Amino acid sequence: MIRRLPIATRSALAACGAAFALAAAGAVAQTLAFSDAELRAILRHGPWPAPWSLDPSNRVSGNAHAIALGERLFFEPRLSPSGTVLCATCHVPYLGWQDGQAVASGLEQVTRNTQSVLNVRYNRWFGWGGAGDSLWAQSLRPILDAREMGGSAAHAAALVRGDAQYACDYEKAFSAPPPRDDEALLVGVGKALAAFQETLLSGRSAFDDFRDALARGERAAQARYPLAAQRGLRLFVGKGACNLCHLGPNFSNGEFHDVGIPFFVAGGGVDPGRHEGIRRLQASPFNLLGRYNDEGGEGERGGGAAARASAIKTRHVALEHRNFGEFRVPSLRNVARTVPFMHNGSLATLADVVRHYSELNLERLHADGESVLKPLKLSAQESADLVAFLESLSERASALAPRQPPAPCNQVLRKP
Partner 1 sequence: MEKRRGAVRRHAAPLATLAGAALVAGAAHTCELPGAGRVLESARYTLAYRTIPRTLAVGEHFQVELAVCAKGADVPDREHRVAASAQMPEHRHGMNYAPSVRALGGGRYRSEGWLFHMPGRWEFVFEVGGERLTDSVRLE
Among 162, 181, 368, 375, binds partner 1 (CB under 8 A): 368
The answer to the question of residue 336 lying near partner 1 (CB under 8 A) is no
Minimum Å gap between C-beta 274 and partner 1 is: 9
The answer to the question of residue 379 lying near partner 1 (CB under 8 A) is no
The answer to the question of residue 312 lying near partner 1 (CB under 8 A) is yes
The answer to the question of residue 256 lying near partner 1 (CB under 8 A) is yes
Choose among 144, 242, 235: nearest CA to 193. 144
Q: Which is nearer to partner 1, 301 or 315 (CB)?
A: 315
Q: Is 250 helix (H, G, I), strand (E, B) or coil?
A: coil
Choose among 217, 300, 290, 205: nearest CA to 249. 205
The answer to the question of residue 51 lying near partner 1 (CB under 8 A) is no
Q: Is 324 helix (H, G, I), strand (E, B) or coil?
A: strand
Considering only the stretches 113-121, 222-230, 308-316, 397-405, report the one whose residues sit in contact with partner 1 under the rule CB under 8 A.
Answer: 308-316
Q: How far apart are CA 324 and CA 195, in angstroms?
A: 32
The answer to the question of residue 248 lying near partner 1 (CB under 8 A) is yes
The answer to the question of residue 322 lying near partner 1 (CB under 8 A) is yes
Q: How far apart are CA 132 and CA 141, in angstroms?
A: 8
The answer to the question of residue 21 lying near partner 1 (CB under 8 A) is no
Q: Which is nearer to partner 1, 127 or 151 (CB)?
A: 127
The answer to the question of residue 253 lying near partner 1 (CB under 8 A) is yes
Among 370, 374, 381, 416, binds partner 1 (CB under 8 A): 370
Among 369, 402, 405, 408, binds partner 1 (CB under 8 A): 369
Q: Is 43 helix (H, G, I), strand (E, B) or coil?
A: helix
Q: Which is nearer to partner 1, 130 or 340 (CB)?
A: 130
Among 14, 108, 181, 255, binds partner 1 (CB under 8 A): 255
The answer to the question of residue 320 lying near partner 1 (CB under 8 A) is yes
The answer to the question of residue 46 lying near partner 1 (CB under 8 A) is no
Among 10, 44, 377, 396, binds partner 1 (CB under 8 A): 44
Q: How far apart are CA 54 and CA 46, in angstroms?
A: 20
Q: How far apart are CA 196 and CA 218, in angstroms?
A: 37
Q: What is the DSSP string of 257-309?
A: E--S---B-TTS-B--BHHHHHHHHHH-TTSTTSTT--TTSSGGGS--GGG-G
The answer to the question of residue 282 lying near partner 1 (CB under 8 A) is no
Minimum Å gap between C-beta 268 and partner 1 is: 29
Considering only the stretches 26-34, 53-61, 214-222, 313-321, report the one whose residues sit in contact with partner 1 under the rule CB under 8 A.
Answer: 313-321
CA distances from 183 to 41, 42, 70, 147 (A): 45, 45, 17, 20
CB neighbourhood size of 262 (10 A): 13
Q: Which is nearer to partner 1, 39 or 227 (CB)?
A: 39
Q: How far apart are CA 153 and CA 151, in angstroms?
A: 7
Considering only the stretches 28-36, 74-82, 209-217, 310-318, report the one whose residues sit in contact with partner 1 under the rule CB under 8 A.
Answer: 310-318
Which of the residues 155 through 184 are near partner 1 (CB under 8 A)? none
Burial of 5 (0-12, 13-18, 19+ CB in 10 A): exposed
Minimum Å gap between C-beta 338 and partner 1 is: 22
Length of the chain: 416
Minimum Å gap between C-beta 37 and partner 1 is: 9
Among 179, 254, 273, 277, binds partner 1 (CB under 8 A): 254
CA distances from 390 to 263, 282, 322 (A): 25, 35, 29
Choose among 264, 254, 278: nearest CA to 328. 254
Minimum Å gap between C-beta 136 and partner 1 is: 20
The answer to the question of residue 244 lying near partner 1 (CB under 8 A) is yes
Cα atoms in the 13 Å half-sphere on the side-chain side of 196: 21
Among 147, 313, 364, 366, binds partner 1 (CB under 8 A): 313
Considering only the stretches 60-68, 162-170, 254-262, 376-384, report the one whose residues sit in contact with partner 1 under the rule CB under 8 A.
Answer: 254-262
- Torsion-angle region of residue 228: left (phi > 0), alpha (psi -120 to 50) or beta? alpha
- Torsion-angle region of residue 119: left (phi > 0), alpha (psi -120 to 50) or beta? left
End-to-end CA, the chain: 61
Among 2, 8, 283, 318, binds partner 1 (CB under 8 A): 318
Residues at the interface with partner 1 (CB under 8 A): 40-41, 44, 124, 243-245, 247-248, 253-256, 312-313, 315-318, 320, 322, 368-372
